Amino acid sequence: MIRVLSIFFAAAAAIASANTASAMTIEKIVSPAGIEAWLVREKALPLVALNYAFHGGTTQDDAEKAGTANLAVDLLDEGAGDLDGKAFHERVENHAIELGFQVGRDYIHGSLRALNEHRDEAFDLLRLALTSPRFDADAIDRVRGQTMATLQRDTTNPNDLASRRWWQTAFPDHPYGREGKGTLESVPRITAADMREYVRRVFARNELKVSIVGDVDAKTAGMLIDRAFGALPAKNDLKPIANATPSGLGRRIVINVDVPQAVVTFGGQGIARQDPEFMAAYIVNHILGGGSFSSRLYREVREKRGLAYGVSDSLVWFRRAAVMLGGTATRADRTADALAVIEQEVKRMAEEGPTPDELAAAKSFLKGSYALSLDTSGKIAAQLTQIQIDDLGIDYVQRRSALIDAVTIEDAKRVAKRLYGGGLLVTIAGKPKGLTSSGATE
């Protein structure tokens, strides 16, 4: 059945790709219980895809019990209501239902996909997972053990070491600086009561974002939404999180670890999603390092000099902070060269901005490639939920190309200076030849 459904979903992707952004109609609906959602009706195939998000995430962990959100989310499908973990998984698999749960710094994200003939069962199982997770002792021990094993491996993983140190340095004494999975010290402290309390505080209807795509009308969609979320508390109970800006800009931190390659994480101040200059920043960042094979960093670091297999950077935004974050991995004896090129290109972009040709090419790519993020029902639902989180408006998909076109070369140069002129925080894990920590005292 699972193989059949996989083939079915592949066919769905092919058909959905014809449903371009310009042709997609998004409806705002309200369920009988008053839950707002966005709906896209897709009648080509008899399935439903749901995506949703709760405001909360790992920022709601107590500092001494970091990892609570991550452990709780990992256990949501390990038994709920009167179903133990084995029975819950059997119900999911026997009906070829796809359920997913993920935790980020600010949000808990979830997804569901099912054929229409099994959608009632799917939404019932989701309701149980959200409202009645069991957190059985045997399941907690097993999942906690898996988490501890991952954390132990991370103590010698250069990618994790460089990333974790970057976030700790950029956001000291702030929840954004904590490791979402927790630590070897904090995870053993987490109890079933802690996870139940987390779920009680976070899973609520007032800041819930919901998107649903499929062969379903507005009335039926509203009933399904209430089936899953209607029994949740009306209001969450979240701890306030302070605004933050990244610290440590201008510092370089070397973490000595005996590995063949050195891993470099670099970043600086970003730009908020609601900032009027965000689209200009998004385009400029694509030119610098977000465009993978077409970016300046890729061209200068890999193609011209062969210093690394890949290098890139992205704009990352949260509710209370925004950063520009990038990375690469290279030979220990070439790390200094690679980092020098990266810093040179960041400085050059800040001082000169992009060229008109680069701006035109980036605009064309970003407009043309957007359809790839909307080529399946699941991707459409995920995009719509993110648009709701970012408060961009229900017509954003239709307006996006015009927003890109409106960015001028003057806009791009101005935002490049703003985005890249403040310096970088760099963390390096490995044994980079000729590089040591610099900046503030270690």
**Which CATH code of 3.40.640.10, 3.30.70.260, 3.30.830.10, 3.30.565.10 fits the domain covering 252-430?**
3.30.830.10
Q: Which two tokens stand for residue 204?
A: 């609520």
Q: Which two tokens stand for residue 283?
A: 């385009």
Domain boundaries, the chain: 2-229, 252-430
Q: Which two tokens stand for residue 122?
A: 């799917």
Judge whether 2-229 and 252-430 match in fold. Answer: yes
Architecture of the domain made up of 2-229: 2-Layer Sandwich (3.30)
Instruction: Kindly give the residue spans of alpha helices, DSSP state H, lying in 318-376.
Output: 335-352, 356-368
Angle between helix 409-420 and 278-285 (nearest 10): 80
In this prediction the pTM is 0.92
Tens of pLDDT along the chain (442 residues) come to 444 444 444 444 434 443 455 578 999 999 999 999 999 999 888 999 999 999 999 999 999 999 999 999 999 999 999 999 999 999 999 999 999 999 999 999 999 999 999 999 999 999 999 999 999 999 999 999 999 999 999 999 999 999 999 999 999 999 999 999 999 999 999 999 999 999 999 999 999 999 999 999 999 999 999 999 999 999 999 999 999 999 999 999 999 999 999 999 999 999 999 999 999 999 999 999 997 788 999 999 999 999 999 999 999 999 999 999 999 999 999 999 999 999 999 999 999 999 999 999 999 999 999 999 899 999 999 999 999 999 999 999 999 999 999 999 999 999 999 999 999 999 999 999 999 999 864 4
Q: Check: CB of residue 235 under 8 Å from CB of residue 206.
A: yes
Instruction: Kindly give the residue spans of alpha helices, DSSP state H, lying in 155-286.
Output: 158-170, 192-202, 218-229, 278-285
